[in-house]
Structure 1
């Protein structure tokens, strides 16, 4: 009887009234008391038949052609004498964020033959994927986002930028003052208020309204200011 105990696989070699001797797969012996089989569960692989199904799992990329690998699995198992020609299949079992997991099932007449199949089948499948489908090996994908990196300005560049900004501000203020002065000149040079500006100098010209009794063509009297005369007195 082939069974599994405490994570070990072996065959029952001797049964006594107090203990059981189990020959493990590497020819070691495990001795278990009879109470172990009464208190704890164990797996019996040969209760009705020694045939057993072995499972093999491996991960591949999402771009993998699964039907091609399935056909290769059938070819590999058919050429292996340990296969009992009963069960062979390939299924996608666990898709993850980066890969998909393939699970292959093969049957054998004994547990020892099933173990050998579980070792030989993935070896040939991995070799097939590596040589014929290298792009289907597991790989990690990343998306690169291109961003413009602005280098930090040096002290000299910072000072130059500051000077340029100050100069631009000064020019803007000067232009604003010039526009304001021109606007005032245009307003003062209107017919209602004939005051005009020429080259920064202001010349005032006043005229009497049309209803004034004094003719508008009469020239204005120009008077000059004279200093008062000083009288000399004799003492």
Structure 2
């Protein structure tokens, strides 16, 4: 096998000048590697399409690009073994290329596995707490593992440079003050990384959780190692440092369940009859499809000289549904009051003071 390759190389070297002959051999090896790669992945894609699981197709799609480059590198390595001049050039760049390829393939496999596991965690179902927790852990662990792979890959690539390797060994030998300086400089990054790991373990928030933070209502859209993206109700994005969810108080409306209670307050005249209003509220909420059937209460929670507060308490399966339910009940009750009990609306009473006795006598005397 080796002798025919050497004969082909020798024949090609006689046709072209020295630099161009190396380039021609490299291009030929690259084209051959690409043809083999395309043929193999075409067969694998057809096999994956025949299976019911989407994870096979996902894995093949993620590995297509890194393996294509890896096959090209393998072809160049085999070519370099037969051409001494080409091997000299390859050895100078192999220290960078090989760690980068290994790291790229490792990241592709990691992302493919994580995406496959995410497909099994469907967050579109009604009771999606377990799926959201699983997706959050996968997202955080994926980011941390990706960071570690990139860090190791860059370190291996830099160690292939003799000058940097010697500097690194010197720093390790005298790592006293230098270690303290590097530790102080890297403190924010390390703090954020540790916070990301703690976030994955303690789970104060999960993907798609409804939170109130910085006075804003929104959903957790993305969790990274250093920050969290909160999608506000009006489609704005609030970028919050990861440490804030661990060091500051915030509201999580879906920590255990998405079910919530909400209320509508009606300000009525103290002379209003509550019974008919309560009956109408119960009738209206029973007909509303957004009500989950758990809670319906009508109570007078406050009274003053000019008004009373009638609180209509209701429940729904999640916060967006609860908001719409409250709006429906508020509109329906206001229309019913306007049509059936218009005098029930609160009003401000102004009573003129009683005339003093001296003023009355003066009026009587003036009339006489």
TM-score normalized with structure 2 length: 0.40
| Residue 280 of structure 2: aligned partner | 72
1:55 aligned residue: 263
Q: How does 1:22-61 map to 2 (within 5 A)?
A: 22-61=230-269
Query: How much does 1:142 deviate?
Result: 3.5
Instruction: Tell me the residue number matched to 2:186.
Output: none
Q: Which of 298, 307, 317 is matched with 1:109 structurally?
A: 317
* SS state at 2:284 partner: helix
Please state how far the C-alpha of 1:145 moved relative to its aligned partner. 4.9
For CA contacts below 8 A with separation 6 or more, give which structure has more relative contact order: 1
Q: Distance in 2 between matches of 1:78 and 1:7?
A: 33
Give the CA RMSD over aligned residues. Answer: 2.0
CA shift for structure 1 position 9: 1.0
Distance 1:69 1:46 in 2: 32
Q: Which residue of the other structure, out of 198, 205, 218, is the alignment partner of 1:10?
A: 218
Higher helix share: 2
1:105 is paired with a residue of what secondary structure? Answer: strand
Matched, 1:81 2:289: yes
How far is 1:56 from its partner?
1.2
How far apart are 1:146 and its partner, in Å? 5.5
* 2: CA distance, partners of 1:146 / 1:80: 51
For residues 23-70 of structure 1, what are the alpha-carbon distances to aligned partners after superposition, in whole Å with 9 as ceiling and x for unaligned? 111111111001211221111111121111111112100111111111
SS state at 2:299 partner: strand
Matched residue of 2:302: which SS?
coil
Question: Are 1:124 and 2:332 an aligned pair?
Answer: yes
Query: In 2, distance between residues paired with 1:46 and 1:146?
Result: 58
Structure number with larger C-alpha Rg: 1
- Aligned position for 2:69: none
The aligned residue for residue 228 of structure 2 is 20
2:304 counterpart residue number = 96
1:136 to 344, 350, 364: 344
Question: Partners of 1:59 and 1:20 in 2: how far apart?
Answer: 40
4+ residue segments displaced more than 3 Å = 142-151
CA distance, structure 2, for counterparts of residue 5 and residue 145 of structure 1: 51
SS at match of 2:266: strand
Q: Which structure: greater strand fraction?
A: 1
Structure 1 unaligned residues grouped into runs of 5+:
152-156, 158-235
CA distance in 2 between partners of 1:146 and 1:10 (Å): 56
Measured in 2, the distance between the counterparts of 1:26 and 1:145 equals: 52
